[in-house]
Structure 1
Amino acid sequence: MGTSRLLTASEAVLVVIDVQEAFRTAIPDFSQIAARIATAINGFEILGLPIMVTEQYPKGLGRTAEELMMSFDTPQSVIEKTTFSSYGSEEFVTELKATNARQVLLCGVETHVCVNQTAHDLLAADYEVHLLTDGVSSRFESDKKAGLEKMFTSGVVPSSVEMALFELMRDSRHDKFKEIQALVK
């Protein structure tokens, strides 16, 4: 008998990786993925679930995209890092452990570098890793494709913003269902 790979609200955390201003002109679908990530952020806030945000060397790559930071209802702290893997940051590991999450839902850029390395380090640390495929990108489609393939063959669970939010609720009788339904329409 197998184990469920569905997201569970009491065990989930959303991690937004390096969606920074320097990537806005380099990544062709930046605005589209930023919009999907903003929806994920709003959904996690509606459901009262933890969210973590990282920035790769903000001195050189700028801060997190303004539209993402503005999508938070309350001020969000950001973890600055120099390691490509978020899990390589001691501050990240400490904050992640404080959430008591077992399931980590990843989104951000670039798919084949920081997202990929974070996913693999989380798998090695025995986390169940889910990936918002509509919330990741790279400068080149071939890099994105290679990153996705490597993560999925390693055990990362593919997901989407809408799929994840509905898995977290599980039932149309959930008290936040109407808010989430309105968010994704």
Structure 2
Amino acid sequence: MLVDVQQKLLPHIDDNARLLRHCTALVRAADLLGVPVLVTEQNPRGLGATVEGLISPEHRVIEKDTFDATLNDAFVAALPSAKECVLYVAGAEAHVCVLLTALGLLRLDYRVELVADAVGSRDPANRSIAIRRAEQEGARLTSAETAIFGWLGSCRHPRFREALGLIK
């Protein structure tokens, strides 16, 4: 799940190059390995669409005006069954839409993995607080690389070399 990595927001995010690099690796690896990607855009008329080149037309994009995406009916309808999956959450801003969406997903009984190196905020202190809060509330922390290797499962996976190229 990619939360609000949008054109007018990204330039203001602390260490936005790191955020974009890890989000890009996650999206490309998900596409390569058949992992569904769900994207949210917060008020796209004001913040612009998702950063150009990050997603493709095949990805499901949900426009929202709520900070917690689970308060959006279209978003909830697009989610798979909570029993069937782990949701990997990445995006911006960590302390607002990412955190509030992760907490909403936890309330809906989803297993949530917060991809800590693929979330960002304008203020690094807010990012740190959001990561701690998500973990306190039951989200598990992971990294983009760990998520990708978890999806692969083994170096014997037929797409291993391609996926490895996305993180090196």
Q: TM-score, normalised by structure 2?
A: 0.93
- Which residue is equivalent to 2:14? 28
Contact 2:42 2:65 in 1 (8 A): yes
Unaligned runs of 5+ in 1: 1-14
Aligned to 1:41: 27
What's the offset of the Cα at 1:31? 2.5
Runs of 4+ in structure 1 off by over 2 angstroms are 74-77, 97-102
Question: Over the residues paired in the alignment, what is the CA RMSD in angstroms?
Answer: 1.6
Note the alpha carbon deviations across 1:151-174, whole angstroms, 9 max, x for none.
011111111111011111221111
With over 3 angstroms needed to count, the CA separation of the structure-2 counterparts of 1:68 and 1:101, relative to structure 1, is farther
Q: Which residue number in structure 1 is paired with residue 153 of structure 2?
A: 170
Q: Is the 8 A contact 1:53 1:78 kept in 2?
A: yes
In the alignment, which of 136, 139, 149 is matched to residue 156 of structure 1? 139
| C-alpha separation in 2, matches of 1:99 and 1:79 | 19
**What displacement does 1:150 show?**
0.4
- CA–CA separation in structure 2 for the residues paired with 1:178 and 1:17: 28
Which secondary structure state, in structure 1, belongs to the residue aligned with residue 50 of structure 2?
Answer: coil
Partner deviation per Cα, 1:89-139 (whole Å, 9 max, x = no partner): 111111113797421000000000000011111111111000111110001
How far has the Cα of 1:60 moved from its partner? 1.1
Per-residue deviation, 1:75: 3.5
Q: Aligned equivalents of 1:46 and 1:109: distance in 2?
A: 23
Q: CA deviation at 1:67?
A: 3.1
- TM value normalised by structure 1: 0.85
Equivalent position of 2:97 in the other structure: 114
Q: How many residues align?
A: 168
Match among 67, 77, 80 for residue 53 of structure 2: 67
> Contact 1:50–1:99 at 8 Å: present in 2 too?
no
Deviation of the 1:88 alpha carbon: 1.1
What is the distance in 2 between the residues matched to 1:99 and 1:122?
9
Residue 51 (str. 1) matches residue 34 (str. 2): no
Could you tell me which amino acid in structure 1 is paired with residue 154 of structure 2? D
Taking only the aligned residue pairs, the percentage that are identical comes to: 34
Q: Which moved more, 1:101-110 or 1:21-30?
A: 21-30
Distance 1:18 1:183 in 2: 22
- 1:26 CA displacement: 1.5
Deviations 1:2-32 (CA, angstroms, capped at 9, x unpaired):
xxxxxxxxxxxxx000011121331132222
